[in-house]
Amino acid sequence: MKDLMNMNIDEYVDSHKEEIINTLLKLISLPSPDGGETAAQSYVENYLWELGFETETFRGSFDKCQELSDYCPADIVYHENCYNVAGKAKGSSHKPSLLLFAHIDTEREDYFGNFDNPYAAIRKDGKIHGLGASDDKGGVAMMLEAARIAKMFAGDFNYDLTILSILGKHGGAFGTLSALLKGYGADNCIYLHPAETGHGFAEIKNISLGIVDFDLETKGIKGAMHDDLDPGINANVVMIKLLNGLEEFNQQMRRDNIFDFGSFANQPSFILNIGSIHSEGGYGEVNASCKAKIRCRFFKPYGIDDIKELINQKIKETAVNEGYEDLYELRTGNFKATPAMVASDDEFIMLIKDAISCKTGIKDFIHQYHGGSDIRFPIIYGGSKCVGIGPSCILPVASSNKQEWIDENDYLNGVKIVADILLRLNKEE
């Protein structure tokens, strides 16, 4: 093997790509479905410890998180041994600190369909397949390998470097939010997650939309039995009227709220979608209940409380006008998120872009927003600059009988990019 001093990062990664790919294959082979991530996290903890990082494991701080606007109650049950993993390398100076983080929990084993072994990591046609490959073990493997390689070239870092392998993909405040409350923040942060849009490293996630979910239920009043002259009030009809009013509000808000920056300039910064409508009943039956799930995505100047008030006001106004004031109930759903952003021309983002360009040749970047991305937590609760980047991947729809995958060369480029960023930040000013 060539002397390390005579090699650069690209040469090292290219000559050790099997070793680097094996780290991802190993992570995929270790089960970490929602609520059962212990084996994979144990591997990560040991990996960081062997690199010389001070490691800590911790569970979610739900009690502390409940006071924050972004707290979402966990919708899964975590095994008592499940935990987050943090590794920290203390720097030798007071230069701006850096946090790399990614989530290791995956969808459940049968989410995409039935496979003989969802944890069989398969390399085929330049892609790495397997449960969690793109969501988000690819991100975890990238930061582990990049830290290892950068440490080989740099020795000790002259800034504080923290690496977080977190849980909480669907688990509310178990992961990133709890980590921030424990003090695992930094001046600059990178969320490593393959780009589910297919844009790969051309996509820079620097905006996180706000989100508020709502559950709307309408009630019906049955008329006299078998009397068409007294049909009562059908809960389905009430729902249709209220949703029509809400859609008028949606269209008006989309006209009035437009992004004026980034790749999405001139696009609406307000999005309201009806996720599902459900009721039961046969032909001609006057339904007593109808339920709808509503998600509102938005950006500044609105906050979570603003959106709650606006939606409540609009539905109440429509209900009063239609005479249905006592026939509905609106509740806030489980998920909510505060909008957050780092300016597209921030010097930290420009450094990341330059590193990506040097390794991939990409020059034109898409400044992508992502609904409720974890980049919001360090920005809001850590006062950090946080951006999300990641390689190309495919995340199939549920029950598709297709496996998720990550592009092999993009993954290797990702290791080069992150290692390069670590070394650039380590240079003396």
Give dist(CA 157, CA 140) in Å, integer: 20
Contact 275, 293 (CB under 8 A): yes
pLDDT (0 to 100) of residue 135: 92
E strand or H helix that includes residue 76: none
Note the Cα 74 to chain centre separation in Å.
15
Task: Determine if the peptide bond prior to 301 is cis (ω within 30°).
Answer: yes
Q: Are 39 and 426 in contact (CB under 8 A)?
A: no
Mean pLDDT for each 10-residue chunk of the chain (429 residues)?
71 96 97 85 97 95 86 82 94 92 93 90 94 95 98 92 91 86 95 90 94 96 65 91 97 96 88 94 86 96 96 98 96 93 94 97 89 90 95 92 94 98 86
Q: Which residues pair with 141 in a beta bridge?
A: none
pTM of the model: 0.92
Distance in angstroms (rounded) separating the CA atoms of residues 303 and 222: 40
Per the CB < 8 A criterion, the answer to whether 376 and 183 are in contact is: no
Predicted local confidence at residue 1, as pLDDT: 44
Task: Calculate ∠ Cα 332-336-341, nearest 5°.
Answer: 150
Q: Which residues contact 155 (CB under 8 A, 6 or more apart)?
A: none
CB 333 within 8 A of CB 247: no
Spatial contact of 146 and 339, defined as CB atoms under 8 Å apart: no
What is the DSSP code string of 32-56? -BTT--HHHHHHHHHHHHHTT-EEE
Tell me the CA distances in angstroms from 137 to 105, 129, 181, 390, 420, one per residue in order.
8, 11, 24, 11, 20
Q: Would you call 394 helix, strand, or coil by DSSP?
A: strand
Structure tokens at 419: 């290692």
**Residue 375: DSSP 8-state:** T
Residues 108-123: pLDDT tens digits? 999 999 888 999 999 9
> What's the pLDDT at 140?
97
At residue 198, the pLDDT reads 85
- Interior/surface letters 60-71, b for 16+ CB within 10 angstroms, e for the rest: bbbeebeebebe
Fill in the DSSP letter of residue 133: I
Beta bridge pairs of residue 124: 127
Question: CB-based burial of residue 274 (10 Å sphere; 0-12 exposed, 13-18 middle, 19+ buried)?
Answer: middle
What token pair was written down for 131? 């449960």
Alpha helices by DSSP H, listed for 127-218, are 138-154, 176-181
**pLDDT value of position 4:** 64
> What phi and psi, each to the nearest 5 degrees, are found at residue 92?
-95, 0
Query: What Å distances lie between residue 338 and 259, 342, 349, 371, CA to CA?
Result: 17, 14, 21, 10
